[in-house]
Amino acid sequence: MVGEELAVMDASGLRAIGAGLAVGLTGIASGIAEKDIGSAAIGAMAENEALFGKGLILTVIPETIVIFGLVVALLIK
Amino acid sequence: MLSPKQMSRVTIVGHKDILGQTVDALHGINAFHIEDYNDDKLGLKIGKPFENADDVSKKLIKIRSISSFLGIKKGESGKQNVESLFQELDTKLVELDDEVSKRTDRKSEIENKLKELDTLSKELLPFSTIPLNLDQYRGYENLAVLSGIVKGDIEPEVAHITQSYELFSDVKSGTIVLFVLKEHADKVSNVLSEFAFKELRVPEISGVPADLLKKTEQDIVNLQNDIVSLNAEIGSLKSKYSGFILASDELLSIETQKAEAPLRVATSEHTFMMDGWVPNEDYDRLARTVEDATGGRAFISRTNVTKEEEAIVPIEYENPKISKPFEEIMDLYARPRYSEIDPTSLIFITFPLFYGMILGDIGYALILLGLALGIKKLVRSDAIKPLMNILIYCQVSTLIFGVLYGEFLGFPLAGLESHGHYIPGLINGFETINLFPSPFAGEMITYPVHRTHLVMTMIVVTALIGLIHINIGYLLGFINERRKHGVTAAILEKGSWFVIQIGLLLFALGYVGYISKAIGIGVFLVGFVMLLKGEGIKGPIELPSLLSNSLSYTRIIAVGLSSIYIASTVNQIAFDMIMPESFGPMTIFAIVIFILGHALNTVLSIIAPGLHALRLQYVEFFTKFYEGGGKKYNPFGYIRKYTEE
């Protein structure tokens, strides 16, 4: 029984699922992290427009998470 | 090139008599950064503005209010001679003010009138269907007039109360005018209130409403025409005086700046003392000009920047013209400090390099290059120009990498044989050439470089590029640290990172079996202890950043691939739609999808590679050496655009 079910699972399909999870979950993680930084950065910019550059940079810092996810996905493929 | 302009601290002392000449001379040179005097420990006071300050700033306010009323925008305009402008300024300003205020008064008069007429026409409208002169609505002794709007037919109800009434009504709008005896008025109005009676004000004029309404509407049209012609007059005033306004705005701004200069200067009863900074290269010119202007009566002293003063020196970049636009990118982060390395010229190389490596597509490069050149030509704003220059540099780099990658809007230019099946290229007969096998994942290095088929190799290559970039950062950090805290601190804080990396490399060699692993571990430990000594506990905590930072550069390939996949998906959707049929409605739809999809990806092609290339500079590179926080060099002076001396 168990053997039969396993045989149905296609290896390349599992890889695709894994790659999808890697990008999707890290994307959510970056989103959560950036949301807080972004709203704080907008708040700071409302006070002082010169902070635009720093705000932008701080906001994209968690972007690394999803980049790593993307790299992992590429490696799985 | 790699450091900001060298400055000198300059103090100018003299009798108050020559303050005016000194200020004039300094303003003309436009190189002296005044250090505002705000410290009264010396027993000196801040100076008083020159006498003309009040007058000049009043005129400036007037000219600016006129300028904003006329809606004058800064643009191209011929230069005017200062002397002649000064002579005619007062008379012309009065004349202009007169002309403008005449029109503003007239305009607001007309606008008020229009408002009144508008209200009147709204009041008249309900009565327009009732053929009664408005005079007949009032002036009765025994009659009450009820005018307003009701819902439904009131006549039977009113007839119940009294037979002596006169009713005019318009069924469509529900307007009624009811004349009853005053003694019945209360009862009737009670009845009316059951019909949701809403009283209307009767305009206090005489005439038949329908005629009056017609006349009012005609009046409104006439007044609107008046406004149109008035606006045309204002437009012609604008074109007639815009050169004068721009020039005199500039002239008066300059005069105000000069007149208020004493507010930044320390004075005693008879003397003044100006403190500030000047770039070394401009010092001689400054000294000569001030001496000429004051007949040698001003005493100028110059000192070199001391260590304590380094924190307050204003910073002016000194870069070749070609890398100047990248100063904007520096300013977005922070200006360098005086003793620090100014990395503008390095960013000039690495920013377009990373951008090009990420995008690497001939099609997008050409589109964006055209766009940037077009915007640069059309928009004459000083803020946009450097950004467009940066974009142009980036597109040149993208074009080079596009040729290297052989990509055009997501299509491969060359045909490729891969895993047994053949992918045709955009150019017929252009085939991919195998060069040599890559050491990673059994991939083959080819020309053109197909990024989609060389993922593993590209990941390793980009991480290595990152490692090199980071090490350049440590090297710069070493130089900065040596300047600030000496060689020992530099070796411990930044040199330790090199030792650690060498240790790791030796360990890797040992792991493969060339040398003993112990050598690698030993070197690594030496580096580790140095780092601990140099940076404290913060050092070892940052150790993993060596790995995470260089892995972060893999975004160069990752973001690039995502851009390719978006482009090729758009291509696939568009071409699958055309392929099966000959020309038809689907073809148009496919073309629309093709254009929209690539337009979207073009926008993304500015944002994504730009932001990521920028981030690699700011986060991965700058943190290794850069502190920033220098003050902007803002010389006392003005760059004349509309006037000349």
Enumerate the residues of chain A whose CB falls inside 8 A of the CB of residue B621. none
Confidence at residue B596, expressed as pLDDT on a 0 to 100 scale: 94
- Residue A68: give the domain boundaries: 36-77
Tell the residue number behind the tokens 């009862």, with chain if given.
Answer: B187
Distance CA B108, CA B110 (A): 5
Question: What domains can be seen in chain B, in order of their start residue?
Answer: 7-47+265-309 (3.30.70.120), 124-212 (3.30.70.2750), 321-413+554-624 (no CATH), 414-447 (no CATH), 458-552 (no CATH)
B552 part of contact set with chain A, CB < 8 Å: yes
CA distance B614 to chain A (A): 8
| Residues B432 and B414 sit within 8 Å (Cβ to Cβ) | yes
CA distance B455 to chain A (A): 7
B287 part of contact set with chain A, CB < 8 Å: no
Contacts for B583-590 with beta carbons within 8 Å, 24 or more apart? none
Enumerate the residues of chain B whose CB falls inside 8 A of the CB of residue A62. none
Enumerate the residues of chain B whose CB falls inside 8 A of the CB of residue A57. 333, 614-615, 618-619
* Window B:585-614, CB contacts with A under 8 Å: 611-612, 614
pTM of the predicted protein model: 0.79
Distance CA B348, CA B190 (A): 86
Q: Is B637 exposed, middle or buried (0-12, 13-18, 19+ CB in 10 A)?
A: middle
**What one-letter code names the amino acid at B205?**
I
Inter-chain residue contact A64 with B552, CB threshold 8 Å: yes
Tell the residue number behind the tokens 């009845």, with chain if given.
Answer: B191
CA proximity to B473, closest of B627, B251, B311, B250: B627
Confidence at residue B324, expressed as pLDDT on a 0 to 100 scale: 92
Confidence at residue B460, expressed as pLDDT on a 0 to 100 scale: 92
| Residues B645 and B86 sit within 8 Å (Cβ to Cβ) | no
Cβ neighbors of B251 (< 8 A, separation 6 or more) are B82, B85, B86, B89, B643
Q: Measure CB to CB from residue B554 to each of A54, A57, A67 and give the nearest one.
A: A67
Enumerate the residues of chain A whose CB falls inside 8 A of the CB of residue B615. 57, 60-61, 63
Residue A28 has pLDDT above 70, yes or no: yes
Distance CA B634, CA B352 (A): 29
- Look at residue A15 and tell me if it is in a domain: no
Give the number of A-B residue pairs with CB atoms closer than 8 Å: 46
Confidence at residue A2, expressed as pLDDT on a 0 to 100 scale: 52
Structure tokens at B403: 């040729």
Inter-chain residue contact A67 with B558, CB threshold 8 Å: yes
- Look at residue A22 and tell me if it is in a domain: no
Q: Kindly give the pairing relationship between strand B433-437 and strand B444-447.
A: antiparallel
B615 part of contact set with chain A, CB < 8 Å: yes
| Residues B631 and B315 sit within 8 Å (Cβ to Cβ) | yes
Confidence at residue B495, expressed as pLDDT on a 0 to 100 scale: 93
Inter-chain residue contact A71 with B548, CB threshold 8 Å: no
- Look at residue A43 and tell me if it is in a domain: yes
A49: nearest CA partner in chain B: B332
Q: Residue-wise over A57-74: b if at least 16 C-beta within 10 A, else e?
A: bbbbebbbbbbbbbbbbb
Substitution target from B555, B556, B562 for chain A, most A beta carbons within 10 A? B555
CA proximity to B371, closest of B349, B353, B350, B395: B395
Tens digit of each residue's pLDDT (9 = 90 or more) over B592-645: 999 999 999 999 988 889 989 998 998 899 989 998 888 899 999 988 888 887
Confidence at residue B351, expressed as pLDDT on a 0 to 100 scale: 96
Confidence at residue B143, expressed as pLDDT on a 0 to 100 scale: 86
| Residues A41 and A55 sit within 8 Å (Cβ to Cβ) | yes
Confidence at residue B368, expressed as pLDDT on a 0 to 100 scale: 95
- Look at residue A30 and tell me if it is in a domain: no
B440: nearest CA partner in chain A: A75
Q: How much of chain A exceeds pLDDT 70, in percent?
A: 90
- Look at residue A73 and tell me if it is in a domain: yes
Confidence at residue B118, expressed as pLDDT on a 0 to 100 scale: 92
B383 part of contact set with chain A, CB < 8 Å: no
Substitution target from B327, B330, B332 for chain A, most A beta carbons within 10 A? B332
- Look at residue A64 and tell me if it is in a domain: yes
CA proximity to B251, closest of B18, B91, B94, B64: B64
> H or E stretch including B171?
none
Q: Which residues of chain B have pLDDT under 50?
A: none
Cβ neighbors of B217 (< 8 A, separation 6 or more) are B121
- Look at residue A4 and tell me if it is in a domain: no
- Look at residue A41 and tell me if it is in a domain: yes
Inter-chain residue contact B333 with A56, CB threshold 8 Å: no
Inter-chain residue contact B615 with A77, CB threshold 8 Å: no
Q: Measure CB to CB from residue B611 to each of A60, A64, A75 and give the nearest one.
A: A60
Distance CA B97, CA A63 (A): 57
Inter-chain residue contact B332 with A53, CB threshold 8 Å: yes
B456: nearest CA partner in chain A: A75
Confidence at residue B492, expressed as pLDDT on a 0 to 100 scale: 92
Enumerate the residues of chain B whose CB falls inside 8 A of the CB of residue A52. 332
Distance CA B364, CA B605 (A): 8
Q: What letter does residue B431 receive in the DSSP assignment?
A: B
Inter-chain residue contact A67 with B618, CB threshold 8 Å: no
ipTM: 0.79
The total domain count for chain A is 1
Confidence at residue B40, expressed as pLDDT on a 0 to 100 scale: 66
Inter-chain residue contact A56 with B611, CB threshold 8 Å: yes
What sign does the dihedral B44-B46-B52-B54 (CA atoms) show?
negative
| Residues B124 and B209 sit within 8 Å (Cβ to Cβ) | yes
* Beta pairing partners, B177: B147, B168
B454: nearest CA partner in chain A: A74
